[in-house]
Structure 1
């Protein structure tokens, strides 16, 4: 589905970024993994190469405007285009604590980080995509009604902010043939740290909140992202792809 496409994934060494990168490479894309820690990036890259994919890595701070712009320029110089951009870096959120007990700094950190990094990486991609008059920008997270008993801190607000930005970008970039889409998962048990206190209970709560009796998996995320970035979704923009197994109900 993605032959000839060049995809940049910020946070490509993480579980979600790695799953998306693997799916993109499997579908023929040339993948550029960007992140701040070399070890995880190289681990994902090695898995992709083992299966015959094409991948490159770069150390990039996705909250640094100059670094983001220089990396996007390097990708285009090396590959000829920047066709897909997805940002799944960590936002420094504090979870497991009720809002009433949180500090304002802990609550606002993921909001500020999410807005800043999504702005910078989307802007860098848009500069090239507007000249190409094509491209796809993918958002991960979306928003939905909070699940009782899950304390997400500022993460939910960060997701809402990114959704607002996605709507604005869709409107501004549509005339250039650029599509902007959000993937909403409702939570992925596989991404919970094994040593996280209460991880089992949180995973169970994610599953119980679904209609299908199972939560989304990393494979689900990768498969849907590959579809969204491909021409099979050519008429889709300004929308969310709901892969939450019914946990997040669209209205």
Structure 2
């Protein structure tokens, strides 16, 4: 198993993306620690992992609460013996479908502020332990896309660009400690769209239509890519993004 003996923290572990990564990590032997603001979805994912023979624990916390995140990271490292993988896939609270010229300032800035704060807090919490053990992988999700895909996405594109900038800086600073920092770029995962979302089918179709393979990334694709990025098979990959957009992103 590719992640046997590794300990992984997934912020937003009760969501579709976080759950997919957690199940894939556990399948490959990792002990997963699911963190999020709501207990029920975390427990559902943990129950699935345990039913499949994996190891999963949950914790209710807000990734914007630095004290809580630090305490949780300390608890994980103390209980498990190491903190090897950190993945942040929390929701950013972005507003889409509204032109920037008609958008409220707070709606535009919310995802930017959330992304920067949560990325900083969770990466720093993990880095403290990874620097001591001289190893570890910090994963981000989303990544920047081509300019023409930013229409009516509000502050989301700016938020993703901010994450990429932070990822590059973290990779430079943490590389000497053996820590890798990688982004997974999907171009959109239709399965992760809320079931009650207005225009869901149309949005899913547009995501697939923008690809070269005429299909978008699936949750299984995301999980498999996350496992690869976190494993020793990707030992020489850092400071960059792994593109799983099925050709939607060419830059």
What TM-score do the two structures reach when normalised by structure 1?
0.98
- Take 1:59 and 1:150, find their aligned partners in 2: how far apart are those partners? 34
- Take 2:205 and 2:148, find their aligned partners in 1: how far apart are those partners? 12
Give the deviation of 1:149 after TM superposition: 8.7
In the TM superposition, 1:178-217 aligns within 5 A as 178-217=179-218
SS of 1:19's equivalent in the other structure is: helix
**8 Å CA contact 2:24, 2:224 repeated in 1:** yes
- Take 1:156 and 1:28, find their aligned partners in 2: how far apart are those partners? 34
SS of 1:95's equivalent in the other structure is: coil
In structure 1, the residue matched to 2:94 is 93
Give the deviation of 1:97 after TM superposition: 1.2
**8 Å CA contact 1:138, 1:183 repeated in 2:** yes
CA 149–167 in structure 1, closer or farther in 2 if over 3 Å, else same: closer
- Take 1:118 and 1:109, find their aligned partners in 2: how far apart are those partners? 14
Considering only aligned residues, what root-mean-square deviation do their CA atoms show, in Å?
A: 1.0
**8 Å CA contact 2:150, 2:157 repeated in 1:** no
In structure 1, the residue matched to 2:126 is 125
Q: Which runs of 5+ in 1 are unaligned?
A: none
- Take 1:149 and 1:61, find their aligned partners in 2: how far apart are those partners? 28
Give the deviation of 1:196 after TM superposition: 1.2
Give the deviation of 1:147 after TM superposition: 4.8
**8 Å CA contact 1:150, 1:202 repeated in 2:** no
Structure 1 ranges of 4+ moved more than 3 A: 146-150
1:82-113 per-position Cα deviation (integer Å, ceiling 9, x unaligned):
00000001111111211111111000000000
In structure 1, the residue matched to 2:49 is 48
SS of 1:245's equivalent in the other structure is: coil
- Take 1:65 and 1:102, find their aligned partners in 2: how far apart are those partners? 29
Q: Which runs of 5+ in 2 are unaligned?
A: none
**8 Å CA contact 2:86, 2:138 repeated in 1:** yes
In structure 2, the residue matched to 1:81 is 82
